[in-house]
Structure 1
Amino acid sequence: MRTDGSAQGGGVRPGGALLGTGRGMLGAMAVVIVFSGVVQGYLTPLLPELGGRLHLGGVGQNNLYLLSQCAFAVLTPLLSRLGDLYGHRRLLRVAVTLVAAGSLLMAVAPTVATLAVGMVLQGAVVGFFPLLAGILRSRAPERGRIGMSVLVGALLIAIGVGGLVAGTLSERHAAAGLWVAVPVAAVAVVAALVLPDSDTERGGRFHYGAAALLTAGLVALVLVLAQGEAWGWLSARSLGTGALAALALVTWVAVERRATHPLVSVRMLRDRRLAVISAHTFCAAFGTIGFLGANALFLGADPDRTGYGMGLGPQAIATVSLAMVVAGFAGSTATPRLARRIGDRAVLATGGALTALGFLGMVVFHATLTQYIVSALVVGLATGLFSSITRTLSAEVVPERETALAVGVNELALSLGAAIGAAVIGALFAAHQHGSHIALSGFAWSWGVCAGVALLGSALALAYGTTAQPSVLPRTDTVTPKEGIA
């Protein structure tokens, strides 16, 4: 029984929330997610110009991205678990404040040190989706699927628009684009303050030993994935870091299995449906996100010098990226309706098949910009589809008290899939290097590998069970008279 008075209308809610469980709540959540998208999209076009101004070369810029990736890997399970233990709204406010502080720090005083600290603080964006999923499932389960699809769509659009606006501003002054995130941050902080808290049952304690082992394992894993090509995959440094990652993660699993209050329940990780969802997410992210940097390289390549590419400038590349995220928005918002018609398993499989179709289209059709963009839009559509359905299902297949952690596990699978995809593509490019540029065969192999991994994800989706479980959210997407509209 709810005691928050949210059954009717709006007004002030106990616990500090000013919103009910209807459109007002979803609107505030969308504001938080838009902030996440801007943060994830606006730095990519800025760093090359900022690097020149701050005398930071390619290696230094790569190290900044590496710091960010390490923060993503570490903070995903920690923020998710802390939210399930101590309150989703409380940890959401902490995460939004950290990201806002990092964004403001970089804009006010852009130096190498502040960029490094700011990007680490911005790593807390990985907690937004899991924590919002915990609130959404608790406060408005009847809106779960439509709500998640809208949030994913808002994220994708914000990534594209944030990058385009920041890139345009930075053409006159390199640091001007850093201010793009600041006003959005202020609005997101307000949105986090007015959101209601989840009323999920809480209990247990935070396992600091398990957290330390998981952090060490994930940091070592991200390091070897990001730096393996530069170090040499068979070098002592790469092999040693990989061994450290494996040892820490194996020890973490052993500790978790014996713990009275585990950080991440091994039983949850054994759930076949969550395992299938996470594996599918890994495969989908491998290409759709792992190839983003390479996509910009192909679009920007000078065909007179390399024999391929479109010769586009930064603003034109950002426009193509925006078109892809608009296609992703369409895929995301169509997901609840599609799931009702063909079922969850079929939607998962369709997302993988569409991703493969897009990359195979690039293999065959890349001679003209129109041909390439058509294939890229198919990949964008598939990105929205898989992002929505996997985040939705990962929230549904576990008990409500583990919602944020389950979505966090899925987010971690997404991050690792993207990192490994980028590492594999980098290795393929290195193997097909001709002088100062990458041979077309390097792109062709990359497109083919991305298509193959996507097809594997589509095949894995067929193992997803469709039997209803008690923990699954209600499938209705209509508003009941009891909940009303806030």
Structure 2
Amino acid sequence: MPQTTHEQQSPELSDPRMSRTGRGIVPVLAFAGITVAVMQTLLVPVIKDLPTLLHTDPSNATWVMTATLLAGAVSTPIMGRLGDLNGKRRMLLASLAVMVTGSLTCAFTDDLVIMIVGRALQGFAMGAIPLGIGIMRDELPREKLGSAMALMSSSIGVGGGLALPGAALVAQHTDWHTLFFGSAGLGVLAMGLTVLAVPETPLRAPGRFDVIGALGLAAGLVLLLLPVTKGSDWGWTSPATLGLIAAALVVLLLWGVFELRSDAPLVDLRTTARREVLLTNLASIMVGVAFYAVSLVLPQLLQLPRSTGYGLGQSMVVAGLCVAPLGLTMMLVAPLYARLSARYGPKVSLMLGLLIIAIGYGAGLGLMSAAWQTVVIAVLLGAGIGLAYSSLPALIIGAVDASATGAATGLNTLMRSIGTSGSSAVIGMVLAHTSVRTGPVAVPSMAGFRTSFMIATGAVLIGLVLAAFLPAQRSAAAPVLLASSAGDAAARMSGLPLAGSGTPLPLAGSGFRGRVVEADGTPVSGANVTLIDRQGGQAGLTTTDAEGRYALAAPAGGSFVLAGSAAGYAPRAYPAAHPATGRPTETDLVLTVSARERRTSLRS
């Protein structure tokens, strides 16, 4: 049957992703993101009581918070890469399952070491953020992608902010272990909704998983953060501190060399070296520092007794409610980001967000004497962090190929997680070592709070400078959402045969052509071949002829993804590029028989 042209079809038929937008993909993925983000601030309401609850000293108790952030930093590129290779929905469910396991581990223990292990398992679920962004890019029409990615990206802060009052209410009126039972329930609910509403995406990246790269990254980050956390106890010039820092630098250097030489790296450092990717990732670290600083400072300031002379004497619940506007404001600015980015580009919205964060922390240095002042700080910081978080994935996705979406956004979330885990370690150390004694206990001092805010302000200003050097927004070609390729349309106008008619489709200009075959060379007729541009838009779609041949015109030179699919075969995606020389690039696609089809054949 001849294919119909774009003008003859409804939008729903011309873009198969359009029909999926009503199935709840965006709210379910956002809920999953909020659920895993809750783990970051789950214990903030009881942070000042953790040494007593776990029978340890304050510097060791800091690791109950840092372990979650560190595990999140390690898991984000790992899960992003596994999602590209094995399916993003599958890996999203695995992330949530690990989080539930960690929650139940923590729910039944008061032992410090077991608690740290459980908290690390909870943090491992942070890989759900890049996985959710990757699913959105694969499944949503382009006009809805910007606001959806903004909501998913900001869910990190939204979950962290909204968790505070809820966690405070639970911790104040029940045993604190109930927090972990609640988080396990949220994880199970998120898994169920994901199974019901989120389809598995067909895109797969070629290659294998880099086990050595994953282990090297984990070892390097642990070796780096451990002396940062314990340096004040051990002494900054002690052999243990200096030795671990040196070991971390050596491990990370060797890791980088290995990644550059690997044919299937966990982190594509060559892509990372691109100006827009490198600067965005460095700015992401600074945004991560800014987000976690406020989460550590404001709840403790609000709960300290007035007898200290600077504490605001509020209950856990009131403290949580005062900080809750941080998450609420982040959620409210996501639609605003979509408008700003569409008009001015994500670079401008990122710089605006960083500027608002700097104003919020600057104002916070003098607004710490009343509960209402902390609400003002939370609103300002929430608006700025929401804009910044929403801008980061758009900047990254605009700079990488579609098949690397999961790994690239995972790396960007890694940078944010490094910022939050570094912030937790450094500010935890500052607050612990500027503390003052009030009766039998030591409490954070006002000097420590102000120093923490100054660290966050400095980080944001560095991020603002980095963002200023990002390339200006490039005008992207409008997506060509066709049920057939531009070459098909040209062929119809000229009377030339189409793909599927038994004769290979000639190209009016540059593009891709080749064959879709099985591993043994058997042609696959009637297979769909989709051309996807680097912004994730569908630039062409055609079917193969009786001999498995296809041809697709490309709108311009550059990097693309060719995705092949057919009934009874597992879908595959291949990175492809052509130099726009006017000649087609020959690219063959190899499909393998699906597991289900293979089982059916064996039974018959």
Equivalent residue, structure 1, for 2:339: 337
CA apart distance, 1:430 = 6.2
Structure 1 distance, partners of 2:270, 2:141, is 24
User: TM-score, structure 2 length as denominator?
Assistant: 0.70
Please tell me whether residue 276 in structure 1 is matched to residue 279 in structure 2: yes
Equivalent residue, structure 1, for 2:463: 457
Deviates further, 204-213 or 310-319: 204-213
- Asked if 2 retains the 8 angstrom alpha-carbon contact of 1:291 and 1:421, the reply is no
- Asked if 1 retains the 8 angstrom alpha-carbon contact of 2:162 and 2:327, the reply is no
Equivalent residue, structure 1, for 2:168: 167
CA apart distance, 1:358 = 0.5
Which residue among 426, 430, 453 is the counterpart of 1:447?
453
Structure number with the higher strand fraction is: 2
Equivalent residue, structure 2, for 1:80: 80
Q: Which amino acid aligns with 1:340?
A: A
Please tell me whether residue 316 in structure 1 is matched to residue 324 in structure 2: no
- Asked if 2 retains the 8 angstrom alpha-carbon contact of 1:152 and 1:388, the reply is yes
Q: Which amino acid aligns with 2:416?
A: L
Go from structure 1 to structure 2 and tell me whether the alpha carbon gap of 1:98 and 1:249 turns closer, same or farther (over 3 Å shift).
same
- Asked if 2 retains the 8 angstrom alpha-carbon contact of 1:324 and 1:379, the reply is yes
Equivalent residue, structure 2, for 1:126: 126
Go from structure 1 to structure 2 and tell me whether the alpha carbon gap of 1:207 and 1:447 turns closer, same or farther (over 3 Å shift).
closer
Equivalent residue, structure 1, for 2:417: 415
Please tell me whether residue 203 in structure 1 is matched to residue 206 in structure 2: yes
Equivalent residue, structure 2, for 1:241: 244
Aligned partner of residue 44 in structure 2, secondary structure: coil
Deviates further, 63-72 or 122-131: 63-72
Aligned partner of residue 34 in structure 1, secondary structure: helix
- Asked if 2 retains the 8 angstrom alpha-carbon contact of 1:253 and 1:266, the reply is yes
Structure 1 distance, partners of 2:469, 2:152, is 27
Go from structure 1 to structure 2 and tell me whether the alpha carbon gap of 1:55 and 1:422 turns closer, same or farther (over 3 Å shift).
closer
CA apart distance, 1:190 = 1.3
Structure 2 distance, partners of 1:454, 1:24, is 35
Q: Which amino acid aligns with 2:534?
A: S
Please tell me whether residue 267 in structure 1 is matched to residue 270 in structure 2: yes
CA RMSD of aligned residues (A): 2.9
Q: Which amino acid aligns with 1:387?
A: Y
Go from structure 1 to structure 2 and tell me whether the alpha carbon gap of 1:28 and 1:434 turns closer, same or farther (over 3 Å shift).
closer
Go from structure 1 to structure 2 and tell me whether the alpha carbon gap of 1:288 and 1:210 turns closer, same or farther (over 3 Å shift).
closer
Deviates further, 118-127 or 98-107: 98-107
Pairing 1:89-104 to 2, within 5 Å after superposition: 89-104=89-104
Equivalent residue, structure 2, for 1:255: 258
CA apart distance, 1:184 = 1.7
Go from structure 1 to structure 2 and tell me whether the alpha carbon gap of 1:463 and 1:429 turns closer, same or farther (over 3 Å shift).
same
Go from structure 1 to structure 2 and tell me whether the alpha carbon gap of 1:53 and 1:217 turns closer, same or farther (over 3 Å shift).
closer
Q: Deviations over 1:304-361 (max 9, x none)?
A: 42x3232222111111121221122222332111212332221111111101100111
Structure 2 distance, partners of 1:446, 1:30, is 30
Structure 1 distance, partners of 2:318, 2:154, is 22
Structure 2 distance, partners of 1:280, 1:144, is 22
Which residue among 348, 351, 354 is the counterpart of 1:352?
354
Equivalent residue, structure 1, for 2:179: 177
- Asked if 1 retains the 8 angstrom alpha-carbon contact of 2:109 and 2:115, the reply is yes
Equivalent residue, structure 1, for 2:479: none
What is the identity percentage for the equivalent residue pairs of Structure 1 and Structure 2? Answer: 26
Equivalent residue, structure 2, for 1:67: 67
Structure 1 distance, partners of 2:57, 2:223, is 24
Q: Deviations over 1:35-72 (max 9, x none)?
A: 21333333333566676455455455333334333322
Which residue among 377, 380, 401 is the counterpart of 2:379?
377
Go from structure 1 to structure 2 and tell me whether the alpha carbon gap of 1:239 and 1:468 turns closer, same or farther (over 3 Å shift).
farther
Structure 2 distance, partners of 1:446, 1:51, is 21
Structure 1 distance, partners of 2:225, 2:389, is 22
Q: Deviations over 1:270-313 (max 9, x none)?
A: 111111211111112222213421222322333442x3232222
Structure 1 distance, partners of 2:181, 2:47, is 14
Aligned partner of residue 173 in structure 2, secondary structure: coil
Structure 2 distance, partners of 1:94, 1:413, is 22
Equivalent residue, structure 1, for 2:499: none
Equivalent residue, structure 1, for 2:474: 467
Please tell me whether residue 148 in structure 1 is matched to residue 132 in structure 2: no
Aligned partner of residue 196 in structure 1, secondary structure: coil
Structure 1 distance, partners of 2:32, 2:297, is 29
Segments of 5+ residues of structure 1 without an aligned counterpart are 2-6, 476-486
Aligned partner of residue 171 in structure 1, secondary structure: helix
Equivalent residue, structure 1, for 2:302: 299
Structure 2 distance, partners of 1:270, 1:170, is 45
CA apart distance, 1:401 = 1.1
Structure 2 distance, partners of 1:447, 1:163, is 19
Please tell me whether residue 214 in structure 1 is matched to residue 221 in structure 2: no
- Looking at CA atoms only, which structure, 1 or 2, has the larger radius of gyration? 2
Aligned partner of residue 200 in structure 2, secondary structure: coil
Structure 1 distance, partners of 2:158, 2:313, is 25
Q: How many matched pairs?
A: 461
Q: Which amino acid aligns with 2:280?
A: I
Structure 1 distance, partners of 2:451, 2:33, is 34
CA apart distance, 1:473 = 4.5
Go from structure 1 to structure 2 and tell me whether the alpha carbon gap of 1:156 and 1:251 turns closer, same or farther (over 3 Å shift).
closer
Equivalent residue, structure 1, for 2:491: none
Go from structure 1 to structure 2 and tell me whether the alpha carbon gap of 1:336 and 1:355 turns closer, same or farther (over 3 Å shift).
same
- Asked if 2 retains the 8 angstrom alpha-carbon contact of 1:100 and 1:122, the reply is yes
Deviates further, 429-438 or 26-35: 429-438
Q: Which amino acid aligns with 2:368?
A: H
Structure 2 distance, partners of 1:430, 1:187, is 37
Aligned partner of residue 534 in structure 2, secondary structure: coil
- Asked if 1 retains the 8 angstrom alpha-carbon contact of 2:231 and 2:241, the reply is yes
Go from structure 1 to structure 2 and tell me whether the alpha carbon gap of 1:444 and 1:114 turns closer, same or farther (over 3 Å shift).
closer
Equivalent residue, structure 2, for 1:484: none
Which residue among 174, 193, 196 is the counterpart of 1:191?
193
Q: Which amino acid aligns with 2:398?
A: E
Structure 2 distance, partners of 1:441, 1:158, is 29
Go from structure 1 to structure 2 and tell me whether the alpha carbon gap of 1:257 and 1:429 turns closer, same or farther (over 3 Å shift).
same
Structure number with the higher helix fraction is: 1
Go from structure 1 to structure 2 and tell me whether the alpha carbon gap of 1:371 and 1:60 turns closer, same or farther (over 3 Å shift).
closer
Go from structure 1 to structure 2 and tell me whether the alpha carbon gap of 1:268 and 1:73 turns closer, same or farther (over 3 Å shift).
same
Structure 2 distance, partners of 1:261, 1:400, is 16
Q: Which amino acid aligns with 1:166?
A: A
- Asked if 2 retains the 8 angstrom alpha-carbon contact of 1:144 and 1:392, the reply is no
Structure 2 distance, partners of 1:246, 1:54, is 32
Deviates further, 87-96 or 462-471: 462-471
- Asked if 1 retains the 8 angstrom alpha-carbon contact of 2:30 and 2:155, the reply is yes
CA apart distance, 1:204 = 0.8
CA apart distance, 1:21 = 4.0
- Asked if 1 retains the 8 angstrom alpha-carbon contact of 2:70 and 2:417, the reply is no
- Asked if 2 retains the 8 angstrom alpha-carbon contact of 1:88 and 1:131, the reply is yes
Q: Which amino acid aligns with 1:462?
A: A
Q: Deviations over 1:242-279 (max 9, x none)?
A: 11111011111111222222222122111111112111
Structure 2 distance, partners of 1:437, 1:181, is 28
User: TM-score, structure 1 length as denominator?
Assistant: 0.86
- Asked if 1 retains the 8 angstrom alpha-carbon contact of 2:210 and 2:266, the reply is yes
Structure 1 distance, partners of 2:29, 2:79, is 17
Go from structure 1 to structure 2 and tell me whether the alpha carbon gap of 1:233 and 1:473 turns closer, same or farther (over 3 Å shift).
farther
Higher RCO, Cα 8 Å, sep 6+ = 1
